[in-house]
Structure 1
Amino acid sequence: MPVHAAPPGLERGLDLPSLYTAVRLRERGDAFAHACAIAAEAGAGTFVHVGRFDLLEFAVVLEPEEPLGRARRAFFAGMAAIADAVAAHCPPEKGLAFAWPDAIRFDGALVGGGRLGWPEGCPEDAVPDWLVFGGILVAARVRIGDPGFHVDSTSLEEEGFGTPEEVIGSFARHLMVHVDAWGERGFDPVAEAYLARLEREKAGDTRGIDVNGDLLIRHHGERGPVRRVPLLPALQVPGWLDPATGGVRL
């Protein structure tokens, strides 16, 4: 799933690798929606981000090479890249984990999430013209009163992270690493990177990701069929996303 250079003429803002072209939106913009809207014309490698102080909001256009049902696994490459970026700029004594499939928790508190978009009406067995992976991280919690009463969420500011530009740029570079690994060695390295941070239901569980992105779980010591947790319904309604604000549930 290459990340190709996008057409010239788009706005450049962040310090991104040369394979990306940045598009910066004003504070009220929606990076994910905008990336989906321009994906067909702007092309792969287009990197949309929003200039606001309370959220790190970004989305990147990808060019899939597989049918949609399999190509959705690009979501896991995006999630692994966000985790790598966050881990590179966070205090080392605190852990980062995924709550299946799309919520990102830092030291047990919700700090953001990822999502995936694709062309409306694209059949599962057809190669889509584009995919869009989008992510949102809480940069600063505002208008919530005393943060001590909202222990289920946190922000990069409260946790002592680096600058927003550093985190977003790191995500872009880590995404290239995971996409390249997928192309060279197959999907297994991407799955391993994602599953290593996925919260476990029980110690000793054996987990895997099927070709369509579903989570496969076998509990330690149990017999019988592997339990399947579907990916698609969760991507259609991200549990971490607050529909009222367009941001992370606080």
Structure 2
Amino acid sequence: MMVSRTAQVEQPLDLPPGYTLVSLREYGDAFAHGCTIAAQAGAGTLVWVRRYDLVEFAVVLEPDEPLASARRAFFAGMNAIGDAIAVHCPPEREVQFTWPDTILFDGGVLGGGQLGWPKDCREDEVPAWLVFGVILRAADMAHVGEVEAASGVALLNEGFEMVDTEAMIGSFARHLMTAFDQWNERGFDPLARDYLERLSKENAGERHGIDVNGDLLVKAPAAKGPVIRSSLVNALAKVAWYDPEYRAPKLG
């Protein structure tokens, strides 16, 4: 799974070699823009929306396996942003996931991840690109009512003295490269394990796994019933954490 090319430009973010930065004004959409330019821009292009109330970015990837299994790159991205938040958050605060794309901080919805791919790509074809996008709520949004804002989770309200967006994105970029190196050297299992360790469980004792196509496999504690399968593709299509009205993570 390729994460970068050698092309680089001068950039304000402290990104590892191989990343190329594209900056958007505050009304931009990092994920949509990333999907639009992915074919031309190539792997390692990181689209960043400059705004104070959200941490919003997307990165272009170039997989080397068929779409059906390449979508597992989504879990590498989720692990990377989970690790980046954990590095910068106050001690003893918990980062969790709700299947598959919601990011929780101390139990509240902080944001989430998205995955895009060429819509004309068949499951057995290697896609020309993938785009992994992230939005986190950094601060209360100015156009959201006070009562609504009080029901949400924002980094500045959760013990962060300040939100260093640049440092967090740089940390994500490094963790993502590490994740793909681990995948190449040791296979996908360590990435699956790291993701599942943060996945919130509905029932104590459940055993979780991730299939080769990215589906979630859940086995009941008694281990006698059938394995329950949750489709990654169907779940990603819902973007359950996202509020299209505010173009931000949902409140409450």
TM normalised by structure 2 equals: 0.94
Q: Secondary structure at the residue paired with 1:135?
A: strand
What corresponds to 2:97 in structure 1? 98
Distance 1:147 1:11 in 2: 42
Q: 1:79 maps to which residue?
A: 78
Separation in 2, partners of 1:197, 1:97:
5
Report the CA distance between 1:135 and its aligned residue.
0.3
Q: Find the aligned partners of 1:149 and 1:70 in 2 and give their Cα distance.
A: 38
What are structure 2's unaligned runs of at least 5 residues? none
SS of the residue aligned with 2:198? Answer: coil
- C-alpha deviation, 1:109, in angstroms: 0.6
Partner in structure 2 of residue 16 of structure 1: 15
Residue 5 of structure 1 corresponds to 5
- Give CA deviations for 1:4-33 in whole Å, capped at 9, x if unaligned: 22645x662311001111111111111101
Query: Is 2:143 the counterpart of 1:139?
Result: no
- Cα deviations by residue, 1:205-250 (Å, 9 ceiling, x for unpaired): 1100001110000111140221111110111120011112221112
17-26 vs 216-225, which deviates more? 216-225
Task: Give, as a single letter, the amino acid of the residue that structure 1 aligns with 2:139.
Answer: A
1:213 aligned residue:
214
1:170 aligns with 2:171: yes
Aligned length: 248
Any conservation in 1 of the 2:7–2:18 contact (CA below 8 Å)?
no
Partner of 1:239: 240
Structure 1: which 4+ aligned runs deviate by more than 4 Å?
none
**Deviation by residue 1:173-205 (Cα, 9 ceiling, x = unmatched):** 111111110111110011011000000111111
TM-score (norm. length: structure 1)? 0.95
Distance (Å, rounded) in 1 between the aligned partners of 2:218 and 2:185: 26
Q: Give me the CA root mean square deviation.
A: 1.5
Distance 1:238 1:197 in 2: 18
Query: What is residue 119 of structure 2 aligned with on the other side?
Result: 120
1:179 alignment partner AA: F
Judged with a 3 Å threshold, the aligned counterparts in structure 2 of structure 1 residues 192 and 147 are, in CA distance, closer, same or farther, namely farther
Question: Which whole-Å CA distance do the structure 2 matches of 1:233 and 1:96 have between them?
Answer: 24
Tell me by how many angstroms 1:158 deviates.
1.1
In the alignment, is the contact (CA less than 8 A) between 1:209 and 1:216 conserved in 2?
A: yes
Measured after TM superposition, the shift of residue 86 of structure 1 is: 0.3
> Which residue is equivalent to 1:63?
62
User: Match for 1:230: what amino acid?
Assistant: S
One-letter amino acid matched to 1:207? H
Conserved? CA contact 2:98–2:200, under 8 Å: yes
Displacement after TM superposition at 1:77 (Å)? 0.4
Structure 1 unaligned segments of length 5 or more: list them: none
